Amino acid sequence: MTDPRPDLLDHPEPVPPTRILVVDDEPLQRQALVDVLRLEGYEATGCDTAEQALQQDLASIDLLVTDLQMPRIDGIELIRRAQERHPDLPAILVTAHASIETAVDAMRSGAVDYVPKPFRLSTMISTVERALALQRLRRRNSLLQEEIRRQFDELLVVNQELDAFAARLSHDLRGPVANMRGILQLVRDEHGADLPPDLADLVQAGVRSGDTALKMVRDLLDFARLGNRDLTLEPVALGPLVAQACSDVRALHPPQGCRVDIQALPTVLGHAGLLHQVFVNLLGNGVKYSAARPQPVVTVDAGPAGVDGLIRVVVADNGVGFDPALASRLFRPFQRLHPTGSFTGEGMGLANVKRIVERHGGTVMAEGRPGEGSVFTVALRAA
């Protein structure tokens, strides 16, 4: 049996005609303009006074075209009163007294354009089309701003949930990490003298790594608790901080012959614990991804502050590099540009780097090419 209902996809809802209200106390001119607008496909109506126009359903009007000189209420006052009710109602002012002052008054009153009398009907049609196009653009912009606000609110909620998750995760990790570190310290304290030197060194490295992990967990917990509040930044000497980060990286990831060259580094404004995490991640990546090179090397250098007050710290390696077209993916959580199994890691390090640096009011960017190494540039505020 055939469905008698029309197919809505084949018969979309018709677009309502554009409604234009023409206000002019000169009957012939008003009717001529209304007739021409109707011929152009607009739904035009006319009023001979401002009072009559203000009694119309202005919410349904797409454009107001009004004469300037009218008894009791002139065109500028009409536009003002109409837009008090409907601020997004566009208006065109028609005047026989065209001057710079008139144009300024028209624009200040809220008119999007004005037309001097006498005018050609073709000129008026062009002005109407331009005003309606501007209004469509304004409405799209308003909808876009509303959508941006909605997405921002949603993103804010998601970030708050992520902060809460990070806080729970950090809190839950602290216990097991402390237990592992305590076990290794107990082995070192009670049996260290009996252990072979190599094994004793490994136990000692495990204790140091446990200290580092506990500190990172505490800093991450502090970071998560901050939410969207501003960080309290203090002068941080990058030289000792990066040197300590390098030492921690060597304990966590044996460098296998990788040389780390740290040049003289300045002092920046930051949170020492969080910046330590930044450089542990960047140095760790450099060591990891350059380990297979015949002469692996990671360098850390910085120049003077730029005109923007930011110091750019560059961490470069001669490792495997990456496809520059995929650079933006590096800083996404759980993103890996290299096959799983080729290198260790879960793809969270650089995501944390980006968020920490941005919370410091800085930026981080990555450059690289396959087989030619990687360059990470961190911009931080000078102290």
**What is the pLDDT, as a whole number, of residue 342?**
44
> Does residue 266 have a cis peptide bond before it, meaning omega lies within 30 degrees of 0?
no
* Averaged pLDDT for residues 138-162: 82
Please give the share of the chain, as a percent, with pLDDT higher than 70: 84
* Averaged pLDDT for residues 136-142: 85
- Which residue would you say has higher pLDDT here, 220 or 359? 359
Q: How confident is the model at residue 13 (pLDDT cuts 50, 70, 90)?
A: low
* Distance of alpha carbon 24 from alpha carbon 30, whole angstroms: 6
Q: Which residues contact 91 (CB under 8 A, 6 or more apart)?
A: 63, 64, 65, 66, 79, 82, 83, 109, 110, 111, 112
pTM of the model: 0.49
* 38-42, 99-103, 159-163, 375-379: range with lowest mean pLDDT: 99-103
| Alpha-carbon dihedral sign for residues 99, 103, 109, 111 | positive
**What is the pLDDT, as a whole number, of residue 333?**
56
* Averaged pLDDT for residues 218-240: 76
* Averaged pLDDT for residues 245-256: 77
**What is the pLDDT, as a whole number, of residue 340?**
43
**What is the pLDDT, as a whole number, of residue 238?**
97
* 7-11, 33-37, 161-165, 227-231: range with lowest mean pLDDT: 7-11
Query: Is the separation of the CB atoms in 287 and 296 below 8 Å?
Result: yes
The yes-or-no answer to whether 19-119 and 143-226 have a common fold is no
* Distance of alpha carbon 278 from alpha carbon 281, whole angstroms: 5
**What is the pLDDT, as a whole number, of residue 338?**
47
- What's the angle, vertex CA 68, arms to CA 63 and CA 72, rounded to 5? 110
* 69-78, 319-328, 340-349: range with lowest mean pLDDT: 340-349
**Phi first, then psi: what are they for 330, rounded to 5°?**
-60, -35
Is residue 226's pLDDT more than 70?
Answer: no
Is residue 352's pLDDT more than 90?
Answer: no
**What is the pLDDT, as a whole number, of residue 55?**
92
**What is the pLDDT, as a whole number, of residue 339?**
46
**Third-level CATH fold of 143-226:** Helix Hairpins (1.10.287)
Q: Which two tokens stand for residue 361?
A: 């009011």
* CATH superfamily, with its number, for domain 230-381: Histidine kinase-like ATPase, C-terminal domain (3.30.565.10)
Identify the CATH assignment for 19-119 out of 3.40.50.2300, 1.10.10.10, 3.40.50.720, 3.90.45.10.
3.40.50.2300
Any idea which residue has 């000692």 for tokens?
Answer: 204
Mean pLDDT, rounded, of the chain: 83
**HSE (side-chain half, CA atoms, 13 Å) at 167:** 12
Is residue 183's pLDDT more than 70?
Answer: yes
**What is the pLDDT, as a whole number, of residue 54?**
93
What tens digit of pLDDT does each residue of 292-321 get? Answer: 788 899 999 998 999 999 999 999 999 988
**What is the pLDDT, as a whole number, of residue 8?**
47
* Averaged pLDDT for residues 196-222: 81
* Distance of alpha carbon 66 from alpha carbon 127, whole angstroms: 13
Rg, the chain, Cα only: 34
Question: Residue 256 carries which side chain, given as an amino acid letter?
Answer: Q
Give domain limits for the chain. 19-119, 143-226, 230-381
* Averaged pLDDT for residues 51-79: 91
